[in-house]
Every structure is written in structure tokens, then in C-alpha cells.
């Protein structure tokens, strides 16, 4: 079995009927990039930059962040690197900061991710400068987590433009056309995907949070684990709508939540229109194997059934 999967490493990710699929990797630290290369991934679809900030007493400065980002970009040798801006708060805490550990009643609904960054320009500006400087070394895409409003996207865009001008003024190179995309993690953003697609350069669906918020089920609470259902018709409808809206506007739509890494969901996601998957590197061979066995026509049949509740009913009643 292991040998069989190793054989997948070098095979192209195309469906049985010849549709090309992008398989990218989720990484947490620059050291992960060697595994990404070994798995032959099509670049990095989610670099969780907050790991640079966690488990330490201080905040890394611009230079340290630049070193980390530029290492990944260089090691990816021309393949795209999607750097997610700092996503701390709620389940991803800092060791020693009252901003993220204060006693919020609902931390998952509180000051986290992009909300926190926009509130702390003294963190966000050097962070974005480091990402922008790394964009001079290869194709970098910036991705905003936990976005819920258009105003957050416009503010972020304005800040990126301002920092690009600032860097130019200092003689530091950066990509003036770096794509700026958003994670679709908040149900209202998925429902309004057609509206956000007009201003974002790409979408990436974060199912871990999207499911949590759509079903009102804490992603880290074992007591309600059984209710965390990726096959819920409401969840699938949000995913389908996001993909369709992105496609209609001609922007790429990826998925980088755990759902994308589960080979049991691969045909269904293909049927919902997904063409870009991002997952922990070790999951790539198995997902690729399924992609190569699946045709889009049969996947679409499957997705239609799933949207009509076939899988949820089977789960709930114990029938298959
Ligand atoms: C997600 O929410 O699906 C996601 C990919 O982000 P994280 O798990 O880091 O919150
Ligand atoms: Mg998330």
C-alpha cells in the first residue's frame, strides 16, 4: 500500500476524464517545505503564519518574518506560496498577550484573525511588509483569515497598497500585483460570495471554521463532535455557492480546511466544482489516487445526491 501511494508522487493530478486539479500543501513552519517538494505539491495553498508567533514570549520582528517567508518562497522554486496573514485568537492563542487571552465570552466570535490584525497595526504592518518583501522572490499570494465584512477587505487592500508604496520609497522590491484573496470561513461570506468575488483575487474555503460557524458547533469541543458534519446539506450548499460564485467571476476557488484532505470527500468536492485542494502534505498521495479514478460526470451525480440530503439522512438514520 505504501509503495502504491509513493507511486502517486510523480503522477499528474488529473481526473479519469482529463480535468486538471491543483493539489497544494498546508504548512505551519518553513521546515515543512521539504516535504511539500517531496510530495510534488503544486505549491503551498495555506501557510499558517501564526505558528511563527506561537509558543514564545515575544513577537517576531519584520526581519525574522521576512527570513521565514523568503525561505519558503525560495524553496518552492517558482510554485505559488499562499501566505495566510496572522490568524490568532480563539483556538490559536499567543503565550503572553492580553489581547487574545482576555476573558471574551465567545472567543471564536471575538477579536481573532484579521479583526485582531486590523486593530493592531503595530503587528500587522511589519507582518505585511515581510510578506510583501518575500513576494519579490517568487509568486506569493496573500490570504486573509476570518474575514466577515467588505470593509475589512477594502481596508486590507488599502494597507497593502500603502505598504507597497512605502517599500518602493525605501528601495525594497516587492510584487506590485501580489494577489489578495480571502478565506471563506464565515457563513455570511459564503452566502455573499458573488459580492466578495468582485473584490477578492481568490477564495479559499476554510471548512474547519465554516462548519463550526454554520452549524454552531465548537470545532474543539468533544461533547458536540458528532454534530460537526461536513456532509450537512447546509454546509454543502455554502460550499457549492462559494465555488459557483468564484467561477462566475473568474477567480480561483480552493479549499484548505480538513475536509479537503479526506479522500472520502474527494469525489463529492469535485462534483461540487472544486478544482484546487490544499491539505497537509502527507494526505496528497491518497487524494490524488482518488482524483485519478474519478470522472467529473459521476462526481457531479454524487454531489447532486448529497445536496439533496442523501448522505446526511444515511448518517442520521444509520442506513447507507
Ligand atoms: C479552516 O478554518 O478550515 C482553516 C483552514 O483554518 P484553521 O484550521 O487554521 O482555522
Ligand atoms: Mg480557520
The Å distance, Cα 177 to ligand 1 centre, comes to: 26
Q: Which residue, among 293, 302, 226, 246, has the nearest Cα to 269 in the 3D structure?
A: 302
Residue 320 scores a pLDDT above 50: no
Instruction: Given the cut 0.95, state whether the ipTM is greater than it.
Output: yes
CA–centroid distance, 17 to ligand 1, in Å, is 31
Cα of 109 to ligand 1 centre, how many Å? 14
Residue the block writes with cell 457531479: 300
Helix H or strand E segment including 144? strand 140-144
Contact 253, 202 (CB under 8 A): yes
pTM of the complete model: 0.95
Residue 85 DSSP one-character state: P
Cell readout for 320 is 447507507
**Closest C-alpha residue for ligand 1 atom 5:** 257
Q: Is the CB of 50 under 6 A from ligand 1?
A: no
Task: Please tell me the distance from the alpha carbon of residue 182 to that of residue 196, in angstroms, as a whole number.
Answer: 9
Centroid of ligand 2 to alpha carbon of 185 (angstroms): 6
Of 52, 90, 145, the one to substitute when testing ligand 1's pocket (max ligand atoms within 8 A of C-beta) is 145
Dihedral (CA of 215, 216, 219, 224) sign: negative
pLDDT in tens, 257-308: 999 999 999 999 999 999 999 999 999 999 999 999 999 999 999 999 999 9
**Going by CA atoms, what residue is nearest to atom 7 of ligand 1?**
208
Task: Tell me the three state secondary structure of residue 241.
Answer: helix
pLDDT of 93 higher than 80: no
First to last CA, the chain: 27
Count CA atoms closer than 13 A to 205's CA, side-chain side: 38
For residue 204, which atom of ligand 1 is closest to its CA? 5
Amino acid at each position: 500500500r505504501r509503495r502504491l501511494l509513493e507511486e502517486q508522487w510523480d503522477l499528474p493530478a488529473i481526473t479519469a476524464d482529463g480535468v486538471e486539479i491543483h493539489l497544494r500543501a498546508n504548512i505551519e513552519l518553513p521546515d515543512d517545505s521539504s516535504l511539500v517538494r517531496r510530495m510534488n505539491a503544486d505549491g503551498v495553498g495555506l501557510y499558517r503564519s501564526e505558528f511563527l508567533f506561537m509558543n514564545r514570549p515575544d513577537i517576531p520582528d519584520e526581519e525574522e518574518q521576512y527570513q521565514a517567508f523568503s525561505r519558503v518562497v525560495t524553496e518552492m522554486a517558482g510554485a505559488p506560496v499562499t501566505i495566510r496573514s496572522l490568524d490568532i485568537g480563539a483556538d490559536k492563542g499567543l503565550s503572553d498577550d492580553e489581547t487574545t487571552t482576555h476573558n471574551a465570552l465567545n472567543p471564536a466570535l471575538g477579536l481573532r484573525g484579521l479583526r485582531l490584525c486590523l486593530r493592531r497595526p503595530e503587528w500587522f504592518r511589519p507582518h505585511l511588509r515581510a510578506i510583501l518583501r518575500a513576494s519579490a522572490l517568487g509568486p506569493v499570494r496573500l490570504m486573509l483569515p476570518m474575514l466577515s465584512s467588505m470593509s475589512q477587505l477594502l481596508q486590507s487592500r488599502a494597507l497593502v497598497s500603502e505598504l507597497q508604496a512605502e517599500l518602493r520609497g525605501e528601495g525594497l522590491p516587492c510584487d506590485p500585483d501580489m494577489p489578495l484573496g480571502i478565506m471563506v470561513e464565515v457563513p455570511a461570506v459564503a452566502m455573499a460570495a458573488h459580492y466578495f468575488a468582485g473584490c477578492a483575487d481568490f477564495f479559499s474555503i476554510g471548512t474547519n471554521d465554516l462548519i463550526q460557524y454554520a452549524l454552531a458547533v465548537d470545532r474543539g469541543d468533544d461533547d458536540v463532535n458528532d454534530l460537526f458534519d461536513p456532509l450537512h446539506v447546509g454546509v454543502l450548499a455554502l460550499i457549492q455557492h462559494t465555488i459557483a460564485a468564484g467561477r462566475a467571476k473568474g477567480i480561483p476557488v480552493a479549499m484548505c480546511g480538513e475536509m479537503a484532505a479526506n479522500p472520502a470527500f474527494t469525489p463529492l468536492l469535485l462534483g461540487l466544482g472544486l478544482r484546487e485542494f490544499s491539505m497537509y502534505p502527507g494526505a496528497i498521495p491518497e487524494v490524488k489516487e482518488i482524483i485519478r479514478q474519478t470522472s467529473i460526470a459521476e462526481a457531479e451525480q454524487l454531489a447532486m445526491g448529497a445536496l439533496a440530503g442523501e448522505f446526511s439522512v444515511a448518517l442520521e438514520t444509520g442506513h447507507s
